[in-house]
Amino acid sequence: MARYAARIEISHLPGVADPQGATVERALPALGYTNVTELKIARSIRLVVEAADVTSAHIQVSEMCERILANPVIEAYEVAISQLAAP
Amino acid sequence: MSARIGVIQFPGTNCELDAVHACEVLGASAELLWHRESSPISVDAVIVPGGFAHGDYLRTGAIARFSPVMNALQEFAEAGGPVVGICNGFQILCEAAMLPGALQKNAGMKFRCEMSTLVVASQRSVLTADIELGAELRIPINHFEGNYTCDAATLEQLRGDDRIVLRYLENPNGSLDDIAGICNDTGNVVGLMPHPERACESVLGSIDGAALLGSLLRHALITATR
């Protein structure tokens, strides 16, 4: 078994409103940034998982996303896995 | 004979005693069901009350749906038992896929705590079965994440099956199709963002919540005696 670091980014599915992003985008012109569009706010989760190989780590973390870390009804997720050096 | 209502309590729930009180005011008996309880539910109806179950960490309802009581609740609902999720309880029922869709942060990122006017849009649910279609009810809201959303196919299904049970007269949160409450396809599982348990006594400014909870209590007895 090896240890893998996972970086998970959870964002809204296309077409689902992002009220947080929209509100922040509206705040920027007040500071003079009138050139900003398409601001989206996503969440990032980091974890370390023990797995046989990188494929297994990816499958397990994706399953975690489906079951609890993301809400597939309104959210998309991306998983990036990298192997950690042995402790 | 009066109905026995179970009110689920998670760590972070804060409307459970209001729900118990409202049931008692309306002539039912009510008891708290702790979220670690996994044995079959033996009351006549269950309320999943408002609050911040498990701190709303990760997302509203995301952790609560894995509490042991939720399996028992699913079984209770599948057997036809009436279940009403109020506010955070609605969010939990959506996370548990007992109701479709999800509740997003309010449009405009405003926490809305005020009286709202609801329109009864369907009598298909245990909560609205006894109320005239089109009736207007004054019920308070108190939420940051009440912006109901679902995909286009789900919305069509909710409309086609007459499962949008309550709509806001004036949309306070950006909710799709002004949705304040929906039910499952058998009408025994209902979720709504407004708080009927806070509008059952005139001293609270409205007694319209008593119409909703009264309907629930009557249907709880019908289910119990079946």
pLDDT tens digits for A35-62? 999 999 999 999 999 999 999 999 999 9
CA gap B90, B100 in Å, rounded: 10
Determine, for residues B94 and A17 on separate chains, whether the beta-carbon distance falls below 8 Å.
no
Q: For B154, name the nearest residue in chain A, comparing CA atoms only.
A: A73
Number of domains forming the structure of chain B: 1
Given B87, B150, B183, B200, the catalytic residue? B87
**Interface predicted TM-score (ipTM) of this complex, two decimals:** 0.86
End-to-end CA distance of chain A: 12
Determine, for residues A69 and B58 on separate chains, whether the beta-carbon distance falls below 8 Å.
yes
Q: For A22, name the nearest residue in chain B, comparing CA atoms only.
A: B108
Q: How far does Cα B207 stand from its chain's mean position? A: 17
- Supply the mean pLDDT for chain B: 96
Domain of B43: which CATH number? 3.40.50.880
What is the predicted pLDDT for the residue at B122?
A: 98
What is the predicted pLDDT for the residue at B1?
A: 77
What is the predicted pLDDT for the residue at A52?
A: 97
Q: Note whether A40 and A11 are within 8 A (CB).
A: yes
Determine, for residues A71 and B62 on separate chains, whether the beta-carbon distance falls below 8 Å.
yes
Q: How confident is the model over B137-187, as pLDDT tens digits?
A: 999 999 999 999 999 999 999 999 999 999 999 999 999 999 999 999 999
Which residues of chain A neighbour B109 with C-beta distances below 8 Å?
19-20, 23
For B19, the domain range is 4-224
| Longest CA–CA separation in chain A, Å | 52
Strand B112-120 relative to strand B136-143: parallel, antiparallel, unpaired? antiparallel
